[in-house]
Amino acid sequence: MSTQTELQQTIEDLVDDKRGILAADESSPTIKKRFDAINVESTEANRLTYRSMLLSTPELGKYISGVILFEETLGQESEQGKPLPELAWQQGIVPGIKVDKGKGPLPGAAGDFITYGLDGLAERLHAYKLLGARFAKWREVYAITASNPTQLGLTANAEMLARYAAVCQEQGIVPIVEPEVLMDGDHEIDRCAEVTEQVLHAVFHALHLHGVKLEHMLLKPNMVLPGKDCRRAPADEVAEATLIVLRRTVPAAVPSINFLSGGQGPEEATENLNAINQARNHAPWQLSISYGRALQQPALQAWGGKAENLEAAQEALLKRARLNSLAREGKYHPGMETKTP
Positions marked catalytic = 178, 220
User: What is the closest distance, in whole angstroms, from the C-beta atom of residue 269 to ligand 5MM in the complex?
Assistant: 7
Indicate left, alpha or beta for 98 from its phi (over 0: left) and psi (-120 to 50: alpha): beta
- For ligand 5MM, give the closer residue by CB, 32 or 201: 32
SS3 122: helix
Cα(293)–Cα(245) distance, integer angstroms: 24
| Shortest distance in whole angstroms from residue 240 CB to ligand 5MM | 21
Asked whether the beta carbons of 40 and 304 are under 8 A apart, the reply is yes
The nearest distance, CB 115 to ligand 5MM, in angstroms, is 9
For residue 294, the minimal CB distance to ligand 5MM (Å) is 6
* Site residues for ligand 5MM per CB under 6 A: 23, 25-27, 30, 68, 102, 139, 180, 260-262, 291-294
CB of 27 to ligand 5MM, least distance (A): 3
* Rounded CA separation 88/83 (Å): 9
Q: Which residues sit opposite 67 in a β-bridge?
A: 22, 95
Cβ proximity to ligand 5MM, 25 vs 71, nearer residue = 25
Which of 26, 112 has the CB closer to ligand 5MM? 26
Q: Where do runs of H (alpha helix) occur along 171-303?
A: 189-209, 235-249, 266-278, 293-303
- Minimum CB distance to ligand 5MM smaller for 261 or for 286: 261
Beta bridge partners of 115: 103
Q: Among residues 172 and 292, whose Cβ is nearest to ligand 5MM?
A: 292
How far, in whole angstroms, is CA 232 from its chain's centroid?
A: 22
State the pairing for strand pair 64-69/20-24: parallel
Q: Which residues contact residue 63 at a Cβ distance below 8 angstroms, ignoring those fewer than 6 apart?
A: 18, 19, 20, 318, 321, 322, 324, 325
